[in-house]
Structures are given as C-alpha cells and as structure tokens.
Structure 1
Amino acid sequence: MRILGMAVLAVLIGSYEGQIAPVVPLLLKDLHMSLSTYGMVSASATVVGALASIAGGRLTDTLGRVRLLIPLMLLTTVCCVLMTAVHSPTQLLLTRIALSVIDGMALAGTAPLVRDFSPRMGRAQAFGFWTWGPVGANFLAAAIASATLPVFHDSWRSQFIIMGAVSLVASLVIAFNIADLSPQLRARVQQTEQQALTTTGRSAPPRARDLLSHRNIWAHIIGIALWLVLYLTLSLYGPIMLGQSFGLSASTAAGIMSVFWVLNLLTVVVSGRISDRLQLRKPICVGGTLAAAAATGYLLSLMGRQDVSHLHLMITGALLGGALGVSYGPWMANFSENAEDIDPRLQGSAWGLFGFTSKSVAVLALFAVPRVVEHGSWHLWMVIAFCCMMLFLPAALFFHGPWRRPSAVSAPVLAPASGTGTAD
C-alpha cells in the first residue's frame, strides 16, 4: 500500500506540473496570445510528450520503473520554476516542450508500477487510486488557483512558484519511499510469467507490436481515445469554457471546476472497489459512460444562459465528473488485464501506448477546440465531444471480459515462497 501510495503521489505531482488550464485566461492576456496560438503551443508540446510516452513505456520494461521515475521527477521541478521566466509565446513553447518530454517519460512507469503491486482481484481499485493522480491534479490546480489568485493579484506566475515548491517536496518524499519489486519477488513473478508463456508456447522475446495484432487492444485504444475527448476538453479548457459560456471570473470558474473533480475522485475508487468485488469491468465502464453522456446532454441545455446559478453549475459539473469517474478505473483494469493476457512482459509498452493515445487526443483537442469555438461556439464543440463519448459504447463490445458475474468465482491459491523478501 505504501508503494501504491507513492505511485499515486508521483502521477499526481507529474500531472499537476502540467496543469495550466486555471490560468489560461490570465496567460493569454499577459502574453498577448489568441486562444488558437495557445492551442498550437500546447499541441506542439503534447506531440513531443506523446512520443516520449512511447519511449518511456518501453524503457520501464527494460530499465525498471523507479530507476527512470525518480531523476525525471526532480527535473520536472526545474521546468516549473522556468515557467516563471516566460515572457513570450516562443519561450512558453520551449518550456512546455521540455516539461512534456520529461513528464511523458516519467509518468509512463507509474501505471506499470501499480500493476506490479496489484493482483487482479484488486486491480480496478488500485487503478482507481492511480487516477487520483491526473484527476487530483485537476482538482488541486483548480482549488489552489481559486484560493491564491486573488491573494497574488491574479498573477499566473504565482501558480508556478507554488507548483515548483509542492513538486520539490513531493519528489523528495517519493524518492525515499518508493521502490520496485524486491529481487526475490521479481524472481517469483518472472518465473510465474515464464511458466505461463511456456505453457502457451510463447518463448520468443517480448515485442511491443504483438499488442497491436489483437482486435481487443485496438478496440481499447480507439474507444478510450473517443472517451477522452470530453474528459480532456474539461481538463484543458474547463475553466475558460465555463467563464465564456456563463460569464464567470477566472477564480469562480476554477472553483466550480474543483467541485467537478471532487466527486470524480470519490467515484473512481468506489466503482473500482465494486468492480473488484464483482470481478466485472465492462458493464461498469459502459454504465458510467451512459451516465456521463446524460449529464453532458444536460450541461449542453444550460450553455449560453446567463441566469444559471453557481450552485446549479456545481451540481451539474459534480454529477458529470462523478459519472466519468465510474468508468475510468474499471476500464484501466480491463485494459491492463487484456494486455497481460497477451504477454505479461509488455505492461510498460501497453501503458506507453495508452500515454501516446491520451496525448494524441490532447493534441487534437488543443488544435481543434480553439478553431471550432472561434468559428462556432463552445456548445458546438461539446456536441462533438458528446458524440465521441457515445461512440465509446460500440468499441466496448470488443473488450475481453465477462458482462455478467460468474455464478461461482474461485480465487487462485499461490503456494508460499521460501524467504521473506519485501518490496523495498
């Protein structure tokens, strides 16, 4: 549990360092940038980060998770401090590229680390806690911005000073408390995996391209790419969308978005626990997606109205965030298990592929959203995001795993190993 906690903290800090959404309105004004220019800057940095995720995922399978994570996390703290020296779009681009490369490679090892320390009977809940990283980063950034921007006279640079300080302290805590599997336990895992591979006739070295020869992996990648359009829209543009659609200040919009992420943090763990108890993944992620689509449809009916109260927006956003949280943990467990069934040695590669996919969708959003909004409206883009989420449902039909709980679930019994090796 301590190792899992450190993995969650690592992805929380890594994701928090990349959060810029709460200060986008202030950043655009200070650097004299249009929303389209900001989108191109962020998209360019994200493209590089997506490629770094692929490389980082492969490296975690060969070098080890922690050996790559710790030094890179300390480097991201430096990037946060460099953000305070930005005075032009070009400087912003260079700084964001550096952060995206380091973050992309560092965070590629956190999901495989969670898998290493979580058996399938508890994997959805473990990944639910893992999602506290990216989701908690959204909440943390929005809450801190809402509380501190008025104190620092709406200076966006203040947020990166705070970010750098928090990141440095957290990185040191992680460095002294995280670990890979112990040599004894790693040997047991490798022996078990090798026995499974020999039994199924797979003795060749692991190849990342083997994942892409399976239809269910393609279904996962395409499905989650469609699902993430809405999620990343809210993550990247939530405060500015609320501000422009409902006439809110930057701090008020950030406060409303922080409420959105609170229920998401709760439901992602609760749904993971239920998924583990039932040993069902697909029905829960599909049910959560349907609920999120309903909440999105209701939000669409409110957009453009100036008489909507802050409380009304908070409740609507919380319901949407909660529904998204229901889907995410079970999907991650299902993806991990489907990849593990293909070759257990390729978890890092599988999650590197996921990182590449999520960053590619972010690039699409960063390029497309400003143009759709400038030539149409936020309402139009949210309709597009709603349609993408609905397309996740047919993709889920191709995921491997049961739709109904088996009448009797028997847990495998592992023989005790000699020795008492610990994770650290």
Structure 2
Amino acid sequence: MMSWVQSRYIMKYPVGWMRIGLLALVIIANIVANYEGELAPVVPLLLPDLHLTITNYGFIVAASAVVSAIVAVISGPWIDKYGRTFFVVAGTIVTAIAVFGMCLVHNTTQFIVVRVIMAIILGVSIPATTGLIRDFTPRVGRALGFGLWTFGPVGANYLAAGVAGATLPIFHNSWKSQFIIMGIFCLVVAIIVAFLIRDLSPGLRAQVVHDNTSVANVNHSAQAQNETIASPKLVYGSFHIWALAIGIVLFLLLYFFTQAFGPIYLVTAFKYSPAEASTLASYFWLANLVALVVIGWVSDRLQLRKIFSFIGVIGLLIFMYFWIHLIGHHVSAGTMMVYTSLQGVLLGFGFGPWMALFSENLEDIHPTLQATGWAIWSFVTNVLVAIAGSITFPVAERFGFAAWFDVCWAGVVIYGVLIFVGRGPWFRRKQFK
C-alpha cells in the first residue's frame, strides 16, 4: 500500500491547470463519498417497503452517524501520517459497490448493514478530502476551495434530489431505480479518481502556502523539511478548535434536518408529492452551492472569514422567524422555492468562510494536522447529528415541527457566540509574514 501511495506523490506545489484538475477530482470523489446521506429523496417511498416508521428511520440515521464519528476520529491521524489518496480511492470504490447494494435491500436489517458501510466510508472520506482541499489551495483561495468541496455533501443532495424529481415518475416511483442510476455514476467516478488522483509529498504537506507568489519558496523549503508530522495532541487539546467545531454544527442543525428529512417534511407538512418535494429541495441545494462559491470568493479577496459567518448568523435568525410561521399554512410551490433557496444562501454565508477559518486555525497550530482537525469536526458533526436525528421526530410529533426549529434557532445563537473564539481578523485583513 505504501509503495502505491508514494508513487502518487507530487514533489512541487501544484499551480494552474494541475491544481484545478486535482481539486476537480477531490470534488467529484467527495460527491460519491457523501452519497451515504443522500437517501432523503426516496425516504417517503423506501420506508413503507421496509416497514419502517419515520422515528425508527431517525434512530438508524443516528446510529450510522455515530459510526461515522468513531471512524473519523480514529482515521484522522493516520490520514495525516500516510497521506490522503489511498483513503479517497478506497472510499469511492466501496461506496459505488454499496450504492448498488441498496438495490438488494429487502428488510430493515439489510438496510442497516448498507447504511453502516456507507457511514464508515463517510467517516474516512471527510478528513481525507478536506485535507486534500487544504493541500491544493493557498490561503488566498481557501474559502473558494472549501466552497467547491461542499459540492460533495451539497452537490450529492442536489444531484440526488434533481435526479429523483426528474426520473421517479419515469420509473413509476420505484426507489430502486435511483440507486441503479447513482450506482453507475459512482462507479464511473471511482474509476476516474483511482487513475488520476495525486497527493502532496510529506514535505509539501508541512508547508503553509499564502498565495501563488510564495510557491517557489514553499518548494524549496519542502526539500529541506525534516519534521513532516506533529502530535495529534496539539489539536485534540485545543479549546478554540473544539469550540469552532461545535459552533458550526449547531449552526447547521437546519441543514442536517433538510439533508435527512427535507423532502419527507415537505410531503408531511405541506402535502407535496414525493417528486414535487424532491424538486423543491433541489432549489435549496442549488442556492447553497452558488452561495458557497460566491461568498467564498469574496471572503478570499478580502481575506476575512468571521464577519461573513456572522452575517449568516444574523440572516438565518431572521429567516427562521418566517420559516416557523409557514407551518400550518398553504404554501404555493413558487413561494416554497423562494424560501428554500433563501435558506440555502444564508447557510452558505455561515459555512463557507468558516471552513477557511477552521483550516487556517489548524495550520496555525501545525500544518501537518489538517486531517486530524477535520476529523474532530466530523466527530462533533456526527455525534450531534446522531442526537438530533434520534429526537427530531419525537419532538415534532409531540410538540410540532416549530418546536424543533426553535432548537435549530438556539443552535444558530450559540454559533454566533462561539465564532468569537476563532483566531482571525473581523474587518482588517491579516498581513502575511
């Protein structure tokens, strides 16, 4: 394995079209890896066939999230030590097999097995792919790079929702049709990634690249680099890293609700058909993708992260007031499209610049600990998603969906406080040394 990994090392920092190509490979690999969570469009059709209640499905989502959390926190230091490519390639191949495997699922036990396999892959893939995004993007370009990375989790949702909305009527609402379509896509991507993906040499991974003008110095320094890995304890013991990780996950509670339950919520609360719900959900993901890229680009130009995230906090708090008051009222498809799109934009404001902030805070601790740090974020994400997934529908069934959205509102407030813990400028760009 190590011989194969070392054969993929590149010894000079990638620039120009090589950097763009490597980033594109990471993005499409991330779309495949995140297909684990993109069952939402077919959940309204899947649950009756498997004789699952919404509440029990929530517990399965929670259990698979715990698996991802454990795998992520274990795998992070190994990914930093041995590089990213092996884990990315193995993850895309196994995911493609697992997606096809969903077509063979006939009962709850088989469904749980496939979910656990996909959860394991997701737990490894998040630290590996985020590490590669940092490796291939200098700080001037970091928020845009991570905005493109979100084409994995967000793009997979958009792709799944869009494909379901377009093809479910063609295949007579057969949920298995979606896994055949996506399985073919995942397999093609896995083959492309396996042949083309590359990794930075250990010396290059230990460098901090500010912008394109510093690349020559980075290449020279990498050749003389002796220390290519640091102790994970430097990250595990950092209060501000944990605070940033916890804060953003609380901010994204509404995102995770939409990811897991969005279409079924639209079907249940507003009486849309499954195909209509999937189409409306696709507008959320599309708006979120556009916002992440645009806001990331602006954040990079100004080299400011915290103020953009805080704007997202204020905007989402205002939005949630109107979102909660929609419940119980008839909402036309056009109006719902506007609301779901606005929701996606505001979440993009808060999340994209935060990813660059988090990565830069990790680099300031030690450049070689990116995967370890992102493993902490993945661990926190999956633990809180497990808790949220297991209580969402019990809370909604007893107190109504508005009660759950109040929980999401509180999470946004807490994130607004914890963003102050992050190290970085608010209004004046940081000067590079």
TM-score (norm: length of structure 1): 0.90
* Pairwise CA RMSD: 2.2
Structure 2 residue 381 is matched with structure 1 residue 358: yes
Task: Return the match for 2:265 from 241, 258, 266.
Answer: 241
Q: Structure 1 pair 393/253, CA: closer, same or farther in 2 (3 Å)? A: same
Q: Structure 1 pair 43/190, CA: closer, same or farther in 2 (3 Å)? A: farther
Which residue pairs with 2:296 in the alignment? 272
Partner amino acid for 1:316? Y
* Separation of aligned partners in 2, 1:213 and 1:183: 24
Deviations 1:274-324 (A, max 9, x none): 11111100000110122122222211111111x211100000110110111
Q: Structure 1 pair 318/387, CA: closer, same or farther in 2 (3 Å)? A: same
Find the residue that maps to 2:424 and give its secondary structure. coil
CA contact (8 A) 2:81 2:229 kept: no
* Separation of aligned partners in 1, 2:206 and 2:245: 31
Which residue pairs with 2:17 in the alignment? none
CA contact (8 A) 1:193 1:344 kept: no
Structure 2 residue 232 is matched with structure 1 residue 213: no
* Separation of aligned partners in 2, 1:297 and 1:140: 29
* Separation of aligned partners in 2, 1:158 and 1:347: 38
> Cα distance, 1:182 vs. partner?
5.1
Structure 2 residue 354 is matched with structure 1 residue 297: no
Give the length in aligned residue pairs. Answer: 404
Structure 2 residue 101 is matched with structure 1 residue 82: yes
Which residue pairs with 1:333 in the alignment? 356
Partner amino acid for 2:244? H
* Separation of aligned partners in 2, 1:32 and 1:187: 51
Task: Return the match for 2:248 from 209, 221, 224.
Answer: 224
* Separation of aligned partners in 2, 1:17 and 1:313: 26
> Cα distance, 1:213 vs. partner?
2.7
Find the residue that maps to 1:121 and give its secondary structure. coil
* Separation of aligned partners in 1, 2:120 and 2:346: 31
Structure 2 residue 126 is matched with structure 1 residue 107: yes
| 1:22-421 equivalences in 2 (<5 Å) | 22-181=41-200, 185=204, 192=221, 206-305=230-329, 307-406=330-429
Partner amino acid for 1:139? Y
* Separation of aligned partners in 2, 1:323 and 1:186: 33
Structure 2 gaps of 5+ residues are 1-19, 208-217
* Separation of aligned partners in 2, 1:191 and 1:334: 27
* Separation of aligned partners in 2, 1:295 and 1:375: 24
Partner amino acid for 1:330? P
Find the residue that maps to 2:196 and give its secondary structure. coil
* Separation of aligned partners in 1, 2:182 and 2:48: 21
* Separation of aligned partners in 2, 1:69 and 1:110: 7
Moved more, 239-248 or 49-58: 49-58
CA contact (8 A) 2:61 2:386 kept: yes
CA contact (8 A) 1:152 1:158 kept: yes
Percent pairwise identity: 39
Moved more, 294-303 or 115-124: 294-303
* Separation of aligned partners in 2, 1:109 and 1:124: 17
CA contact (8 A) 2:246 2:377 kept: no
Poorly superposed stretches of 4+, deviation over 6 Å: 193-196
CA contact (8 A) 1:48 1:101 kept: yes
Q: Structure 1 pair 186/397, CA: closer, same or farther in 2 (3 Å)? A: closer
Partner amino acid for 1:295? F
> Cα distance, 1:272 vs. partner?
0.7
Structure 1 gaps of 5+ residues are 413-424
CA contact (8 A) 1:41 1:92 kept: no
Q: Structure 1 pair 194/292, CA: closer, same or farther in 2 (3 Å)? A: farther
* Separation of aligned partners in 2, 1:141 and 1:55: 29
* Separation of aligned partners in 2, 1:51 and 1:245: 34
Which residue pairs with 1:12 in the alignment? 31
> Cα distance, 1:46 vs. partner?
1.7
CA contact (8 A) 1:65 1:180 kept: yes
CA contact (8 A) 1:69 1:107 kept: no
* Separation of aligned partners in 1, 2:77 and 2:375: 7
CA contact (8 A) 1:211 1:342 kept: yes
> Cα distance, 1:391 vs. partner?
1.4
> Cα distance, 1:187 vs. partner?
8.1
Deviations 1:163-214 (A, max 9, x none): 1111001111222222112578558769848999x9xxxx896222221333
Partner amino acid for 2:422? F
* Separation of aligned partners in 2, 1:24 and 1:77: 20
Q: Structure 1 pair 119/76, CA: closer, same or farther in 2 (3 Å)? A: same
* Separation of aligned partners in 2, 1:195 and 1:279: 29
